[in-house]
Amino acid sequence: MSSKRKETDLTWQDIDIGCVITSPGNAAQYKTGDWRSERAVWNKDRCIKCGICSIYCPEGCVNQDSEGYFEADLYYCKGCGICARECWTQAIEMVPEE
């Protein structure tokens, strides 16, 4: 069964037995980033690359870039603001989405 198809397209023959899901972590296709009204933005001058933001993100969408600074994957970022609140050096700002 293709996990990329929306559930409204699935016929009863498409469904695997017992509705088992065989693609681990395929929830990652769902864009929770659409939920937010503000997003987390890092100030690289203040970021000390400690990684506490990435630990505290409930989505687990804060990752390091090639230089080691942290940034949120905006596909998932719900804009909760935990990272901004917890950052030791207040390097993260919550910026409203339009």
**DSSP of 58-71:** TT--EEE-TTS-EE
Q: Which of 39, 74, 93, 94 binds another protein (CB under 8 A)?
A: 94
Q: Give me the least distance between CB of 95 and another protein, in Å please.
A: 14
Q: Among residue numbers 23 through 82, which ones bind another protein (CB under 8 A)?
A: 23-32, 35-36, 50-52, 54-61, 73, 76, 78-82
Query: What are 8's two structure tokens?
Result: 């409204």
Q: Based on the shown chain and the rule CB under 8 A, indicate whether residue 89 belongs to the binding site for another protein.
A: no
Whole-Å CA distances, 12 to 19, 27, 31, 70: 10, 21, 26, 44
Least distance in angstroms from the C-beta of 53 to another protein = 9
